Each structure stands twice: as structure tokens, then as C-alpha cells.
Structure 1
Amino acid sequence: MKATIWHNPACGTSRKTLAILEESPGVEVAVIEYLKTPPTAAKLAQLYRDAGITPQQGLRLRGTDAAERGLPDASDAEVLAAMVAEPVLIERPVVETEKGVRLCRPQDVVREIL
């Protein structure tokens, strides 16, 4: 099975999620450091749709100015545009497999799609 993780190596939860993926037999992991290679708005929209969450639910509030900017109450398009412009606003990690997509907070959520 292939798994893609949108990863931030500075994030403990992201590192723990990646470790679960790497330790899972038969899982081929593709790592995308989203701060260096941000997803497009269309890709983010697809990931959140497939995860069953809104872009607002995928918004990183801690350590960002998202709340001060009113992003939790902004439209999907506005949130996605802000995330593309400033990938630090993307909550991490997001993992995609053939079984689905999850925002893996806590990291054990990734097991649902393995």
C-alpha cells in the first residue's frame, strides 16, 4: 500500500505518524515536506473532502495568526488560499492512502487508513 504524508519534521506528532507508517509492513511511504513543497488549493480541498473535514478544521491555529485574521470563520476558498500562500497554516500531518485521508492528530488516527 502507498501512503503519502504531508510532513513537518519539526513537529513531534508528524514524526510519530511517520514512524508508524515506516514501521507498518507493506506500506510504501512518500514524504512531502509541505512547508517546502506546499500542496495546491485543489489538492488541499480534495484531501479535506476525502477526510470528511472542512478547510477550517484543517487550519492550524496554534502558533499562527489564523484566528486574528478571522480565518476560522472565512470561506473555504479564503482558507485554502491562505494555506497555499502560507503553508504554516496547514495543520499536520495529513496522510493519504487508498483507504482514505486523515488529519493524524493524534498520530494513532493514521491506523484507520492502513
Structure 2
Amino acid sequence: MINSLLEVRGVRHSALVSLDGKIVAKAGLKDTDVPAELTLVAAGRAVIGSLQSNLNTEAWQELLLDVDGGPVLLTPHGNQVLLTAFDDVSSLGRVRFAVRRLLGTV
């Protein structure tokens, strides 16, 4: 499913992460690879939870984190989070469109 994201110019890897932090599916990573950005999912969920509480809202669309290794887009998918790591913030529009197409939200 998420392998199609690798066809998008600039995408390095992607992982679908469960609520308990386990990788459900991944693309662009070897079986033994665990992306360094995986810790960002838990931190991102904490930030999102705080924002949702303060803004009195339940839904969130995505969270972009621009870290040393490059930008990472976190997108909700049910009770899971799709992590998409890519090369440069200038690729954000292309990556967002591909993620939305993949998740059926376009």
C-alpha cells in the first residue's frame, strides 16, 4: 500500500505506525531498519493531543516536523499515523497530495 509513496520525487521512506508505536507497514526501509523519526510519532501525538485539548477539537489533518534529517510529515489514518520522510520542504505539496491520494482523502 504505502510503497506507492516511494514513486513521489523526494520521498525517502514511509511507515505506518500503530497506536502502541509498532510499525504496521513500511516502504523504503529494510526489514531490520527502524527509522530514527519513529520517536517523532509519539512526540507528535503528544503535541497533537495537547493542541486538540486546548483548541477543543477532535480532528487533525497532519503535522509537519522539519528536523535535522529532513522534513517528516505525520498524517492520521484511523488510529494509526503515516510517517513520510522526504528530502526538502519544497517537496511538501507533492508529498501531501500523494499521501492524501493514498489514504483516499483527495
TM-score when normalising by structure 1: 0.28
TM-score when normalising by structure 2: 0.29
Of Structure 1 and Structure 2, which has the larger fraction of its residues in strand? 2
Of Structure 1 and Structure 2, which has the larger fraction of its residues in helix? 1
